[in-house]
Chain A
C-alpha cells in the first residue's frame, strides 16, 4: 500500500471554526490532491499541488485553502467551517498526471454542526 496517512480520521466541529486536515505521504510523489466525497456527487477536486509551494484550484475550491511547505505534507484548511462542508475528505497522490494512477488515503470524516 502507498504510504499515505490522513489526520484526523474523524472530526466534529462547530460552524464558524477553522479546521485543518493533514495529508502525509512517504512516497515522494510530486502531485498531491484534496477531494471531497458526497452522496450523489462522487469525488470532486478541491485543490491540488504539483510541488512545494505550487498549488492550484479544483472545481470546488471556494471556502478552502491549502498549503504545501514540504513534499510530504499537504494541508487543507477550512477558514470558517460551514455545514455544507460536512463531507468525507480524501487525499490522493501521484507521481505525475495524465497516465499516472492516483493513490488515495483512508479519508477524513468531517462533521460541521
Chain B
C-alpha cells in the first residue's frame, strides 16, 4: 500500500526566512503528487500539483515544489514566508496505474511563522 511520509510534524520559522517542508512517498509506480494547505478552522485547499513534465511546480502564494523521482520526494519550498503562511500543510499521492487512484495523505506539517 502507498504510504506518504512528512518528515517534520512542526516547522517553526521566522517571517521572511525561507522554508522547506519535506514529503516522501513509497510508491514504485508513476504517481500524481499534491500539496494542500489548511488554514485554522477551515478545510483543505490545493496549493499545487505535479502531473507530468517539468519537475519544478509553482503554486499559489509563492510556493513551489520539486518532484524527485529517484528519491521519491516532493518537497515544498517558499523563499520568504509571511505570517499568513501559518497553517497545516499536507502532501498527497495518487498512483497513475496498477494501484490506488484514491490519494493517500501524509500526516501533515504545521508551519508556524514567527514575527
Task: Give complex CA distance A111, B42 in Å.
Answer: 18
Task: Give complex CA distance A21, B43 in Å.
Answer: 16
In the complex formed, the residue of B with least CB distance to A48 is B102
Chain B hits for A41, CB < 8 A? 107
Least Cβ distance of B108 to chain A in Å? Answer: 5
Which listed residue, A4, A40, A99, touches B51 by the CB 8 Å rule?
Answer: A99
Which listed residue, B46, B95, B102, touches A101 by the CB 8 Å rule?
Answer: B46
Task: Give complex CA distance A98, B95 in Å.
Answer: 6
Least Cβ distance of A22 to chain B in Å? Answer: 15
Least Cβ distance of A74 to chain B in Å? Answer: 15
Chain B hits for A105, CB < 8 A? 43
Least Cβ distance of B57 to chain A in Å? Answer: 13
Task: Give complex CA distance A39, B43 in Å.
Answer: 15
Identify the interface centre among A43, A58, A97, A107: most chain B CB within 10 Å of its CB.
Answer: A43
Which listed residue, B32, B51, B94, B105, touches A43 by the CB 8 Å rule?
Answer: B105
> Is the contact region of chain B dominated by helix, strand, or loop, or is it mixed?
loop
Chain A hits for B34, CB < 8 A? 101
Contacts known (A42-B106, A43-B90); A99 close to B43, Cβ less than 8 A? no
Contacts known (A97-B101, A102-B103); A42 close to B90, Cβ less than 8 A? yes
- Please tell me if the beta carbons of B51 and A90 are within 8 angstroms of each other in the complex: no
Chain A residues 69 to 113 lying within 8 A of chain B, measured CB to CB, are 90, 92, 97-99, 101-107
Task: Give complex CA distance A97, B6 in Å.
Answer: 22
Task: Give complex CA distance A58, B102 in Å.
Answer: 9
Chain B hits for A97, CB < 8 A? 94, 101-103
Chain A residues 41 to 62 lying within 8 A of chain B, measured CB to CB, are 41-45, 48, 58
- Please tell me if the beta carbons of A104 and B105 are within 8 angstroms of each other in the complex: no
Q: Does B96 touch A at the CB level, under 8 Å?
A: yes
Chain A hits for B90, CB < 8 A? 42-43
